[in-house]
């Protein structure tokens, strides 16, 4: 099978590409604009494979998308290209509207145009898999706000959408477009919504890598508000396995929620990272003493939690990593890959790879 992966140089996208090339016989066409968060150094382990190809293309560029579809003739699309940083969406929402909404529309139309020209057999086998986020659902009741012992709800595939930020609103919009292209045009789409990912090759602006690197540099470890926001954490390689399951075995028109079954308060996450660093690279004072509290961001959701039982029941998937094992692997990876961290922030490898 030939799979076109958009955003394949990003955090989750690169994990998907590495998984497919390393664990299957499928071919991957990695289509990525290479914004600040996309880095080809995340793909060094697979870039020499004959089953891998890279195209530097913006998903808003219809002519280039048409060329890629015509040239490579993919059997499926896994759409991960997106602007994804909530804080950036608050200060500059325009890029999120352009990439996540207009880009998804442009990709859908290019893919549909290509799909309509396929023969009957290839047309019936084609899949457009749209990868989204649990943030489209808004937030859930927090344990501090309900009676002790009360059962706390989880996001399911039928939870109503209630986005809280320009980022999550743009992703909600793209989800709606994907479903409409199935209902209106019969275009074969599948949607997945995932919880917070973490793991190797994560751009350092996100919480876990930011805390690891700041701790090592002796900088403050910023916590929004009281640090009581709860997230369900999913190891990125577990997510990659799930996404491949969906694109190869999932049912057209279905939505699948993918989560790690690891609800943790942000403060607990940071404290755990500090504890791991205390054991691996001890310093004179505990790393937790670097924790600082900063003003909470506008519209900050208090709790996310995914019910991934549908993935388990229908596609026989469940996470292999616990939060403890996954987080330790993540910290160890960043300790061993300081050069990657430097390159991804200054663009050294990218410029050399592209000859610029």
Q: Is 137 a catalytic residue?
A: no
Report residue 244 as tokens: 């491949």
Q: Is 167 a catalytic residue?
A: yes
Options 135, 175, 237, 321, the catalytic residue:
135
Q: What is the pLDDT along the chain (356 residues), one digit of tens a residue?
A: 999 999 999 999 999 999 999 999 999 999 999 988 888 999 999 999 999 999 999 999 999 999 999 999 999 999 999 998 888 999 999 999 999 999 999 999 999 999 999 999 999 999 999 999 999 999 999 999 888 878 899 999 999 999 999 999 999 999 999 999 999 999 999 999 999 999 999 988 789 999 999 999 999 999 999 999 999 999 999 999 999 999 999 999 999 999 999 999 999 999 999 999 999 999 999 999 999 999 988 888 899 999 999 999 999 999 999 999 999 999 999 999 988 888 887 766 666 666 65
Locus of tokens 């004072």: 285
Instruction: Report d(CA 189, CA 61) in Å as an integer.
Output: 21
What b/e string do you get for 254-293 counting C-beta neighbours within 10 Å, with b at 16 or more? ebbbbbbbbbbbbbebbbbbbebbeeeeeeeeebbebbee
Q: Is 70 a catalytic residue?
A: no
Residue 35 exposed, middle or buried by CB count within 10 Å (0-12, 13-18, 19+): middle
Options 167, 198, 235, 287, the catalytic residue:
167
Options 32, 58, 83, 134, the catalytic residue:
134
Angle at 196 between CA 194 and CA 198, to 5 degrees: 120
Instruction: Report d(CA 113, CA 349) in Å as an integer.
Output: 36
- Contact (CB, 8 A) for 135 and 173: no
CA distances from 11 to 218, 267, 318 (A): 25, 23, 20
Identify which of 240, 202, 241, 195 has the alpha carbon closest to the alpha carbon of residue 333.
202
Residues 116/122/125/130 CA torsion (nearest 10 deg): -50
Determine the length of the chain.
Answer: 356
Angle at 16 between CA 188 and CA 242, to 5 degrees: 65
**Beta strand 189-194 pairing with 76-79:** unpaired
- CATH hierarchy code of domain 2-203+232-260+304-322: 3.40.50.720
HEC profile of 73-96: CCCEEEECCCCCCHHHHHHCCHHH
Using DSSP, state whether 59 is helix, strand or coil. coil
Q: How many CB atoms lie within 10 A of CB 355?
A: 5
Integer-rounded Cα Rg, in Å, for the chain is: 20
């Amino acid at each position: 099978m030939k799979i076109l992966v958009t955003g394949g140089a990003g955090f989750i996208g690169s994990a998907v590409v590495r998984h497919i090339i390393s664990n299957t016989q499928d071919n991957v066409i990695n289509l990525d604009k290479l914004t600040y968060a996309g880095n080809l150094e995340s793909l060094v382990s697979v870039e020499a494979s004959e089953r891998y190809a890279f195209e530097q293309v913006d998903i808003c560029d219809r002519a280039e998308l048409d060329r890629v579809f015509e040239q490579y003739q993919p059997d499926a699309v896994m759409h991960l290209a997106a602007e994804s940083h909530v804080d950036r969406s608050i200060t500059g929402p325009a890029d999120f509207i352009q990439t996540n909404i207009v880009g998804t529309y442009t990709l859908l139309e290019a893919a549909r145009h290509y799909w309509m020209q396929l023969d009957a057999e290839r047309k019936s086998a084609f899949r457009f898999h749209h990868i989204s986020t649990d943030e489209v659902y808004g937030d859930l009741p927090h344990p501090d706000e309900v009676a002790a012992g009360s059962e706390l709800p989880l996001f399911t595939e039928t939870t109503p959408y209630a986005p809280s930020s320009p980022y999550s609103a743009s992703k909600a919009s793209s989800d709606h477009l994907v479903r409409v292209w199935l209902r209106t045009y019969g275009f074969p789409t599948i949607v997945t919504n995932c919880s917070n990912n973490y793991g190797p090759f994560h751009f350092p602006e996100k919480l876990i890598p930011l805390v690891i690197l700041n701790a090592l540099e002796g900088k403050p470890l910023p916590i929004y508000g009281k640090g009581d926001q709860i997230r369900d954490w999913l190891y990125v390689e577990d997510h990659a396995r799930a996404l491949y399951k969906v694109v190869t075995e999932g049912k057209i028109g279905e939505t699948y929620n993918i989560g790690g079954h690891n609800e943790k308060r942000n403060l607990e996450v940071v404290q755990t990272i500090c504890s791991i660093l205390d054991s691996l690279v001890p310093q004179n004072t505990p790393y937790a003493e670097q924790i600082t509290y900063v003003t909470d961001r506008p519209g900050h959701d208090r709790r996310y939690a995914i019910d991934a039982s549908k993935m388990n029941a229908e596609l026989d998937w469940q996470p292999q990593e616990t939060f403890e094992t996954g987080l330790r692997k993540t910290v160890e990876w960043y300790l061993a890959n300081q050069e990657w961290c430097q390159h991804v922030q200054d663009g050294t490898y990218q410029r050399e790879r592209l000859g610029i």
